[in-house]
Amino acid sequence: MATQVAHLDFERAIADVEEQINALRTLARERGLDVSSEVVALERKLDDLKQDTFANLSPIERVQVARHPKRPYSMDYLEMVFTDFVELHGDRQYRDDEAIVGGWARLDGEPVMVIGHQKGRDMKENVLRNFGMPHPEGYRKALRLMKLADKFHRPLITLIDTMGAYPGLGAEERGQGEAIARNLREMAALGTPSVAVVIGEGGSGGALAIGVADRVLMLENSIYSVISPEGCAAILWKDAAHRDKAAQAMKITAGDLKGLGVIDEVITEPAGGAHGNWEETAAALKEALVRHVGELRLLSRDALRRARWDKYMGMGQVRAAR
């Protein structure tokens, strides 16, 4: 459970009220005072403040929430949403990439394959996880697990949370681009139900490599984009300081992408964001997964492939060249 959270700039007023509540409770405990009515009033104020603040976030503020260091990661959801998780390692070619985790688990009692990006909580873990940026062997591990799911016709669930695939020299030498491209092709052809969820950052091909699913969902304060707002600003305006303008123009929020038809559903986060209430977020995620997997289970392999083809071919607009 996330109890101690770092506060973002726009959460300062929320933090102040939380401090007042904690101070009153400490005073009551130390001096034996009854401050229940005051605490109840402040808790109501806190709830209203959270609702108002998070209902009116700008795109760049949602970027900050998506990157929040206390936001639940894939392994956290594996503990809260799934049971009986058995992690599988390695791509059978080079090594095991800790930036991608995956294995068999049960969702509401039913066996599924789960694959997700995994970031670290501290520097040591981030070095191990490479800040959630997979190498090609990570995507090859993911493909191996996808094919296992397809072989046994078990639903595939992917949890997306990466700033992008690792762009280092070694990764490129070992075929980063090819590994991502192969995953796109193979995911499009799977004969088993698949659901992808953007739980934090969905960055470029690094996210898409495990995101070509029958249903694509996003947590309310997650983002999904071809490039980061800072990267976009650096290219267009030669200055990353224009990231607010870039985030607005890029349409990277869950609401924007649902309106554009890129994703299928926005999963509502509790007031205060996923980082403020892990359990409620996990419950909402589980409900959505159970519902979508249940619907997709009713389709045959051929029907799944046809529906998936229609879904992705129907995105965007084609304009004739002049």
- Given a cut of 90, whether residue 162 has pLDDT beyond it is yes
Q: Are residues 100 and 80 in the same domain?
A: yes
Other beta carbons less than 10 A from residue 6's beta carbon? 10
* 261 φψ region: left (φ > 0), alpha (ψ -120 to 50), beta (else): left
Range of the domain at 16: 11-56
Task: Determine, yes or no, domain membership for 21.
Answer: yes
The mean pLDDT of the chain is: 92
Distance between CA atoms of residues 304 and 194, nearest Å: 9
Identify the top-confidence range among 42-51, 108-117, 272-281.
108-117
Task: Determine, yes or no, domain membership for 208.
Answer: yes
Q: For 53, how many CA atoms within 13 A lie in the half-sphere containing its CB?
A: 21
- Map residue 119 onto helix, strand or coil: coil
Cβ atoms of 81 and 107 within 8 Å: the answer is yes
- Given a cut of 70, whether residue 134 has pLDDT beyond it is yes
pLDDT band of 6, cuts 50, 70, 90: low
Q: Are residues 49 and 81 in the same domain?
A: no
- Residue 236 tokens read as 């267009």
At 172 the pLDDT is 95
Q: What is the DSSP string of 134-161?
A: --HHHHHHHHHHHHHHHHTT--EEEEEE
Task: Determine, yes or no, domain membership for 322.
Answer: no
Question: What's the mean pLDDT in 193-217?
Answer: 97
> What value does the CA radius of gyration of the chain take, rounded to a whole number of Å?
21
Task: Determine, yes or no, domain membership for 172.
Answer: yes
Q: Are residues 241 and 107 in the same domain?
A: yes
Q: Are residues 41 and 173 in the same domain?
A: no
Q: Which of 38, 56, 74 is the last residue of a domain?
A: 56
Q: For 213, how many CA atoms within 13 A lie in the half-sphere containing its CB?
A: 30
Distance between CA atoms of residues 319 and 309, nearest Å: 20
Q: Are residues 223 and 133 in the same domain?
A: yes
Q: Are residues 67 and 27 in the same domain?
A: no
Q: For 166, how many CA atoms within 13 A lie in the half-sphere containing its CB?
A: 26
pLDDT band of 14, cuts 50, 70, 90: confident
Count of domains forming the chain: 2
Q: Are residues 48 and 68 in the same domain?
A: no
- Given a cut of 80, whether residue 128 has pLDDT beyond it is yes
pLDDT band of 4, cuts 50, 70, 90: very low
Q: Are residues 174 and 86 in the same domain?
A: yes
Angle 53-58-60 from CA coordinates, rounded to 5°? 120
At 193 the pLDDT is 97
- Given a cut of 60, whether residue 3 has pLDDT beyond it is no
Question: What's the mean pLDDT in 38-54?
Answer: 81
Residue 184 belongs to a domain with what CATH number?
3.90.226.10
At 151 the pLDDT is 97
Task: Determine, yes or no, domain membership for 144.
Answer: yes
Query: How many helices (H) and strands (E) are present in the chain, helices listed first?
Result: 14, 8
> Which residues have C-beta within 8 Å of that of residue 84, sequence separation ≥ 6?
104, 105, 106
- Given a cut of 60, whether residue 294 has pLDDT beyond it is yes
pLDDT exceeding 90 applies to what percent of the chain?
A: 77
What is the maximum alpha-carbon separation in the chain?
79
Task: Determine, yes or no, domain membership for 5.
Answer: no
Q: Are residues 31 and 74 in the same domain?
A: no
Q: Are residues 16 and 128 in the same domain?
A: no
pLDDT band of 71, cuts 50, 70, 90: very high
Task: Determine, yes or no, domain membership for 268.
Answer: yes
Q: Are residues 69 and 156 in the same domain?
A: yes
Amino acid in position 42: L
Q: Are residues 18 and 70 in the same domain?
A: no
- Given a cut of 50, whether residue 1 has pLDDT beyond it is no
pLDDT band of 54, cuts 50, 70, 90: confident
Question: What's the mean pLDDT in 142-163?
Answer: 97
- Given a cut of 70, whether residue 239 has pLDDT beyond it is yes
The position carrying tokens 């997306």 is 160
- Given a cut of 90, whether residue 223 has pLDDT beyond it is yes
Task: Determine, yes or no, domain membership for 301.
Answer: yes
List, for residues 258-290, the tens digit of each pLDDT value. Answer: 999 999 999 999 988 999 899 999 999 999 999
At 240 the pLDDT is 86
